Structure 1
Amino acid sequence: MSIDVAGKRERLTAAPSRPRTARRHRLRPEQRRSRLAAWTAVTVIGLFGLLPVYWLVITALTPDDRAFQIRPDLFPREITLGHFTKLAENEELFGYLVNSVIVSVVTSVLSVLVSAYMAYSFSKFRYRGRRSLMHMVLASQMFPQALLLVTLYAVFSATGLLNTYLALVLSFTTFTLPLCVWMLKGIFDTIPDALVEAASIDGASRWRTLHVVVLPLAAPGLVAAGLFAFVRSWNDFIFALTLTGSGKQTLPPGLVHTYLGEFQTAWPDLMAASFVVSIPVVAAFMVLQRHLVGGLAAGAVKG
C-alpha cells in the first residue's frame, strides 16, 4: 500500500491560506448592563475615596482670604505655596515628625518580632491550652481601645513611664499584636510541615529552622504585618495625646496643638501639613505593595 506523500504536500501548499479574522463577540444587553453597573460602582467608590484628598490639596493651595469664604471654590482661582513653605520654618513639626518615626518604626519591629514567635507556636506546635490562647488573642480585639486608656495611664504613671517613647511603643504593640499574630499564623499554616521535618532531620535546631527556613518563606507576611503596625502607630491620636507631653508627642496630636485653637483655626496650614506627613505612609505602601498584597493573600488562606 503506497502513500502519495508528494501529492498531499502539493495539495497542502496549493490550498489558499484563510486569513485569520478576529471575531468580535457582541455583548448581550444583560452583560452590558452588568458591566455598566460595575463601572458605575467603581467610579462612585473612587470619587468617594479621592474627593477628600482632592479637597485637602486644594485647601492647602488656596490663600487664606479665599479658603474661609462662605462658598469655597471647587477649582481654586488662585494658588499659593506659602502654606507649604511655612512648614520648613516650624521646628516643632520636625520634632513631632521625629517622634512619629521613632515610635512607629520601633512598634512595627517589636510587633513583627513578637507576633512571629507567637504565630509559629500556634501553627506548628501542639500543646495543651493552645486553642484557648488563640481565642484569648482574638477576643482581645473585641474591647474598645479607649476603655483601656485609663488603666494604661494609671499603670504607666505608677511605673514612671508617662511622657516616654516606651509608653507609646508598649501601648501600640499591644493593639497591633492580635491581627499580626493571626495574619502570620495563616501564612505559617501554608508552609508544609515536611520542610520543618526535613530541617530537623538535617540536624537543624528549632531556633535555626525558624530563622533559616520558615521566616524567609514568610517574608511577604512579615512585611504586611510590619506595615500594618507602622500605619497604626503613625495614625494614633488619643494615646499619643494622653500618655505623652509636648516633648514626646507624635504628629496627630502635634498638628492639633499647632493649628487648632480656641478662637481661630488655620485650615490651609493644617491641610498642607497633613498632606506632607501622609507622604511617608503612601511611599511605604507604594514600595512594599507587592509584598503587602502577597502577605495578605497568603494570610487569608487556611492551611
Structure 2
Amino acid sequence: METTTMVPATALTVEAENADPKSQGRLALSARRKKPFRWALWSTLTVIGLFAFLPIYWLAVTSVTPNDQVFAYPPSLVPTEVTFEHYVSVFANPAIFGYLKNSIIVSVVTAVLSVVVSMYMGYAFSKFRFRGRKSLMYFVLSSQMFPQALLLVTLYVVFAQFGLLNTYQALIISFTTFTLPLCVWMLKGFFDALPDDLIEAAKIDGAGPWRTFHSVILPLALPGLVAAGLFAFVRGWNDFMFALTLAGPEKQTLPPGLVNTFIFEASAAWPALMAASLLVSAPVCIAFIFLQRFLVGGITAGAVKG
C-alpha cells in the first residue's frame, strides 16, 4: 500500500515562486520599491519628531543648566552640569502659586461655561428646525473670521465702563466668547451623528424634551463635551494678551505672570523661566493623556458635515 505525503500549500507556493523566474523578478522589484518608501517614511517621521520634541528637550535642558553656562558657546545638547536650584526657586516664589490659582479658576470656569452654553446651542442647531437657523449658524461661525486682537480695545473700554477690569469676570467672559463658536460647531456635528430614533424612542417612553436631552443625549455626547471643554480650558490656560491687558497683577494668569516675574527690563532669568514653564505645562499634558480617547472621539464626531 502506497503512502501519500501531504505537502503544505504554502510550501508549494514558495517552491513554485522559486521555480518561476518571473515571480522572483516581481518579488525583487517589489522589495526594491518598498525600501525607498520605508526610508522616506522613517525620515519624515524623524524630522517631524525632531520638530515637535527638540524644543521641549531644549526647554528641559535649559531648566537644569546653571546660570553661568546658559549662554556658553558652542551650545551643548547634553548639559555638562545639572542643577535643580531653578525648580527650587520656582516653588519658593509665592507669586507663582497666586498666578496658578488664577489660571485654574479662569480656565475651569471658562471650560464649564463654554460647554454648558455650547451644548444647548449645538443641540438646537442640530435637532430643531426654525426660521433663520442657517443664518444664525453661519453668523456664529463668522465671528471666527476676525482676529481676536481687534476686539481687545473694545472689550477694554466696555469692561472699564462696567467696572470689570482687573477681575476674573473680564477674563472669563472674554475667553468664553472666543471659544463658543468652535465649541458650538463641534457639538453640533456630534449631535448630528446621533440618530433621531433615540429622541423618538424617548418620546414614546413618555420623556419630555428636557428629560430626553439630559438623560439620553448628553450621556452619549460625553466625548464631544470633553473635547469642547478641553479646548476651552486650554484657551483660558494659554492666553497671554488678554490676561495681560484686562487683569491686574492680582488677577493675572500664568503666561503674563511668568513673564513679569522672570523677564526684566535689561535681563531675563531664562533657566528659572524654563523650569516654571515645564511645571505649568504639566496639568495640560496630564489632561491630554487621560482624556485623549474622549478628545479624539469628540473631534472626529464633530467633523461630521451637518
TM-score normalised to structure 1 length: 0.92
**Are 1:294 and 2:297 matched, yes or no?**
yes
What is the rounded CA distance, in whole Å, between the counterparts of 2:75 and 2:6 in structure 1? 70
Deviations 1:112-131 (A, max 9, x none): 11000000000000000000
Q: 2:8 — aligned with what? A: 18
Q: Kindly indicate whether the alpha-carbon contact (under 8 Å) linking 1:190 and 1:302 is maintained by their aligned counterparts in 2.
A: no
Match status 1:232 vs 2:222: no
Amino acid at match of 1:282: C
Q: CA deviation at 1:30?
A: 2.6
Q: CA RMSD in A?
A: 2.0
After TM superposition, list the pairs within 5 Å mapping 1:16-55 onto structure 2: 16=6, 18=8, 27-55=30-58
1:197 maps to which of 188, 200, 203: 200
**Structure 1 match to 2:91:** 88
CA distance in 2, matches of 1:204, 1:185: 22
Alignment of 1:94-173 (within 5 A): 94-173=97-176
Q: Displacement, 1:224?
A: 0.5
Cα deviation per residue 1:7-52 (whole Å; 9 max; x = unaligned)? xxxx9x97546396798x7643233222221221111011001111
Count residues in correspondence.
293
Long gaps (5+) in structure 2: 15-26
SS in 2 for 1:32: helix
Answer yes or no: is 1:60 the counterpart of 2:58: no
Kept in 2: contact 1:96–1:254 (CA 8 A) = yes
Aligned residue in 2 for 1:221: 224
Following the alignment from structure 2 to structure 1, what is the Cα–Cα distance between the partners of residues 86 and 112? 34
Equivalent in the alignment of 1:5:
none
Unaligned runs of 5+ in 1: 1-10
The one-letter code of the counterpart of 1:220 is P
Deviates more, 1:116-125 or 1:14-23: 14-23
CA distance in 2 between partners of 1:141 and 1:121 (Å): 20
Q: Which residue of 2 aligns with 1:273?
A: 276
- The separation in 2 between residues aligned to 1:71 and 1:106, in whole angstroms, is 46
Alpha-carbon distance between aligned partners in 2 of 1:210 and 1:140, rounded to the nearest angstrom: 27
